Amino acid sequence: MTSLQLKDRIEGKAYESHGQSFYELNEKEQFNVVGNAIMEYLVPEWIESKRKFGKKKQAYYLSAEFLMGRALSNNLVNLGIEGEVKQTLEEMGVDYNALEDAEDDAGLGNGGLGRLAACFLDSGATLDYPLSGYGILYQYGIFKQNFVNGFQVEEADPWLEHDNPWLIKNSNDAVIVEFSDNDKVEAVPYDMPIVGYGGDTINTLRLWKAEAIHKFNFQAFDEGKYIDSVKAQNEAETISRILYPNDSTNEGKKLRLKQQYFFTSASLQDLMDNFKAEGHKSFDDFSKLHSIQLNDTHPALAIPELIRLLEKEGVDFERAFDITQKSMAYTNHTLLAEALEVWDKGLFTSVLPNLYPYIEEINARLVRELKEWQVDKDEWHNFLIIQGNSIHMAFMSIYATRAVNGVAAIHTDLLKTDVLKSWHDMFPDRILNKTNGITQRRWLLQSNPQLSGMITDLLGSKEWVTSLEQLKGLEPMQDDEAVLERFIDIKREKKQELSEYIQFHEEVDIDPDSIFDIQIKRLHEYKRQLMMAFYIADLYNRIKADPDEEWTKRTFIFGAKAAPGYYIAKAIIKYINELAGKVNTDPDVNGIIKVVFVENYGVSYAERLFPAADVSEQISLAGKEASGTGNMKFMLNGAVTVGTMDGANVEIVEEAGKENNYIFGMEVDEVVAKRGNYDPIAAMKRTEGLEQVVESLVDGTFNDNNTGMFQDLYNSLTAEDQYFILEDFESYRQAQDQIASDFKDQKAFYRKGFINMANAGKFSSDRTLEEYATEIWHVSKQQ
């Protein structure tokens, strides 16, 4: 594609879509026009990719979330046309960075589970595997986060308000999803191209939008009942309106259940319609051509739904169960009991009365097998899908699939020895480990071009972009002064870029010469953002008490969203913002430490934060974090980890060395031992300075605007301290103080970061995807 061809295409698209010259459009409109021009370029290859995989076994990733981020730069990099497009736009007088910023982050996910799904799709296409995604086209995503008086305030994130060039509506593939006899909607698919690096394979993410079957009631309108005339459409669209609606009410729970059934049913109908259209005579071949991965329990309803759909085609239950089990695999993402979905039977049958009998039948089959296996009835509660008025989705997902995987070595071991021990004892070969990974194309090549260029120069080629294990070749260069100085210069450049970005967006001045200590992830008590905040409060108190000490300059950065109904998480956000206000306005300390809570943290913000980090905060209570993927992105960009032996931290330390990271706190066995004999107040009192920090929650130091939030936070800590913040605090403080001391010798400190980067090869999603493809899905790449 020549510069002239691209210019002509862009100008043509502008007239076609807006009736104006490209130069008369605003930045949002210009972005859409350029996106449409790129889509015209890639669609032929997209069609060819579908054709080349047509007769082969394919994998399908069902997920409630796909946290894709912006697509423009990612697509240009992977297509190999970034340079030409940027040059053409420069010739046209267009600011590419402004154009890039005009793209909204796709509102399709929230946390690590969704970003993992996005990384897998990238890796699947890059490695030439036939991997498609299925999810929901959320109109507003999760929410846009604002801070008002330090409180998180949610508002709609209208990411689809403007045309999105990456989505193609395919009305001909729409299907009907039936919740009950009188409640059904149309599922309309929108396809998004997933461009593999090199552009040879372009896979598909199919997203379903809910619409009413009869969108407009003319008779009601004619009678003056204008609201009633569009009621059906409004109710249908609610299903795909928002990711994770607040489920603290029955109506919220019902909507979540509807969402889960909506996209799993639509996706399976799509697969079966295609299977029949290809002329297959027997559904026995279905599992030979389809491998369906359930990303957590959100898509678990696919199990009874596939059995139901097969029975509609004349397949008896036992055969349908066998086909379903052979076709499906389940990824477990959590060790938290509350995250292993359990549905109330009454609520379930009120929403999905036609599906419940199939769950009963699956459970009855399980009961028969428990009897055959002579399992003691006292142990049945570890297996049964239906127990009293509860339906256990994780148990159904384990029983009715052929493989279950954890997402980090320690997580999988805990599944086998604790959370799912009974299942592992029964099926010792079913639970596998697949340590998570991240795509280096987005999280290094795209987000950190300076470091990418250095790596390419040092290794002599760009092969690392698809073979991240080649980073190991950098390790012998750790003592090369010129290499280390270049690495440090790049880190400072990224810190300067982030400083300017934060100053513009958050209106906080931060010092790029300070330590950038960053914790960015979903806000949850087990992730212990509060412990980091307590360290800052304690450090503040120590500086106030001894201002003449040689304190290391530090900037602490948080980014996180709390679920709208998660009260304590919102209290923690308010506390951190109050702490930031106190620290940042105190002239005695604000030249030494700064605190920033970035607003509306998402993928695009993350692309600036990971490359600038000196310290990666991975401080969850041991045994609670399944894996983490943020820890890998920090490592890849040359940050050291301060963390517990939890999740993928264990493997990070194995790869890069404990001496190059800062490990603290209790390990899993110590947490278990401590659980039965723990006095949080005693832990607080024996730790110097900690009582003053905790008491500041309720002594008037900080203002919760008379909500009682800080009192509730104080009460939960002193009464229970479920996540052992007070117990682990002293060990954490020692690790943090060691970081401050080590940073004084910057070359030695950054050598640790360099070594981490050089040993990040294992954590590519390419490696993880290859393991899924060969060991679980049994799909082959295009030759």
Separation of first and last alpha carbons in the chain: 26
At 757 the pLDDT is 98
Catalytic, 9? Answer no
Instruction: Using alpha carbons, list the distances in angstroms from residue 663 to 599, 642, 669.
Output: 29, 6, 16
Report CA torsion sign: 159, 67, 29, 36. Answer: negative
288: number of Cβ within 10 Å:
13
Q: HSE, CB side, 13 Å, CA atoms: give it for residue 686.
A: 10
Pairing mode of beta strands 328-331, 131-136: unpaired
The answer to whether the beta carbons of residues 776 and 59 sit under 8 Å apart is: no
Pairing mode of beta strands 390-392, 386-387: antiparallel
697: number of Cβ within 10 Å:
25
Closest CA to 171 of 191, 156, 198, 150: 191
Q: HSE, CB side, 13 Å, CA atoms: give it for residue 711.
A: 5
Distance CA 729, CA 690 (A): 8
250: number of Cβ within 10 Å:
12
H or E element at residue 180: strand 175-180
Can you say how many angstroms the Cα of residue 326 is from the centroid of all Cα atoms in its chain?
27
Pairing mode of beta strands 390-392, 290-295: unpaired
| pLDDT tens-place string over residues 342-385 | 999 999 999 999 999 999 999 999 999 999 999 999 999 999 99
H or E element at residue 148: strand 144-148
Catalytic, 214? Answer no
| Overall size of the chain counted in residues | 783
Distance CA 129, CA 3 (A): 32
Copy the structure tokens of residue 268. 């399976």
Beta strands in 309-442 (DSSP E): 328-331, 342-344, 386-387, 390-392, 403-406, 431-433
Q: HSE, CB side, 13 Å, CA atoms: give it for residue 82.
A: 17
Copy the structure tokens of residue 526. 């087990």
Which residue of the set 401, 629, 641, 687 is catalytic? 629
Closest CA to 609 of 662, 553, 560: 560
Copy the structure tokens of residue 678. 């723990």
b/e map 363-372, b = 16+ CB within 10 Å: bebbbeebee
At 783 the pLDDT is 61
Catalytic, 594? Answer no
Closest CA to 697 of 535, 523, 575: 575
Residue 47 φ then ψ, to 5°: -60, -40
| pLDDT tens-place string over residues 309-341 | 999 999 999 999 999 999 999 999 988 776 689
At 214 the pLDDT is 87
Closest CA to 266 of 212, 330, 183, 187: 187
Query: Going by C-beta distance under 8 Å and a sequence separation of 6 or more, which residues neighbour residue 499?
Result: 509, 510, 511, 512
Report CA torsion sign: 362, 367, 372, 378. Answer: positive
Phi-psi region of 377 (alpha: psi -120 to 50; beta: other; left: phi over 0): alpha
Distance CA 383, CA 375 (A): 10
Domains and CATH numbers, the chain: 3-436+770-777 (3.40.50.2000), 440-668+724-768 (3.40.50.2000)
Catalytic, 365? Answer no
Distance CA 528, CA 521 (A): 11
Instruction: Find residue 295's DSSP bridge partners.
Output: 331
Instruction: Find residue 97's DSSP bridge partners.
Output: none
* Helix, strand, or coil (residue 10): helix
Query: Going by C-beta distance under 8 Å and a sequence separation of 6 or more, which residues neighbour residue 621?
Result: 526, 528, 644, 646, 665, 666, 671, 723, 724, 728
Query: Going by C-beta distance under 8 Å and a sequence separation of 6 or more, which residues neighbour residue 536?
Result: 556, 579, 583, 593, 595
The answer to whether the beta carbons of residues 163 and 407 sit under 8 Å apart is: no
Which residue of the set 521, 570, 608, 752 is catalytic? 521
| pLDDT tens-place string over residues 608-653 | 999 999 999 999 999 999 999 999 999 999 999 999 999 999 999 9
Distance CA 53, CA 51 (A): 6
Distance CA 336, CA 342 (A): 12
Distance CA 464, CA 472 (A): 10
Which residue of the set 13, 333, 528, 561 is catalytic? 333
Copy the structure tokens of residue 96. 């590419």
At 586 the pLDDT is 96
User: Residue type for 311, please?
Assistant: E
**Segments of the chain with pLDDT less than 50:** none
Furthest-apart CA atoms within the chain: distance in Å: 82
Closest CA to 240 of 284, 288, 188: 188
Which residue of the set 253, 411, 416, 527 is catalytic? 527
User: Residue type for 636, please?
Assistant: L
Closest CA to 132 of 41, 221, 196: 196
The answer to whether the beta carbons of residues 468 and 766 sit under 8 Å apart is: yes
At 340 the pLDDT is 82
Residue 624 φ then ψ, to 5°: -110, -35
Distance CA 134, CA 205 (A): 6
Copy the structure tokens of residue 614. 């000196």
Distance CA 492, CA 613 (A): 10
Catalytic, 629? Answer yes
Distance CA 539, CA 690 (A): 11
Query: Going by C-beta distance under 8 Å and a sequence separation of 6 or more, which residues neighbour residue 197?
Result: 77, 78, 122, 125, 126, 441, 465, 466
Residue 540 φ then ψ, to 5°: -60, -45
Distance CA 136, CA 139 (A): 9
The answer to whether the beta carbons of residues 431 and 394 sit under 8 Å apart is: no
Helix spans in 278-316 (H):
286-289, 302-312
Distance CA 353, CA 374 (A): 32
Which residue of the set 241, 298, 308, 522 is catalytic? 522
Tell me how many degrees the CA angle 40-61-272 measures, rounded to the nearest 5: 85
Catalytic, 333? Answer yes
The answer to whether the beta carbons of residues 112 and 523 sit under 8 Å apart is: no
At 436 the pLDDT is 97
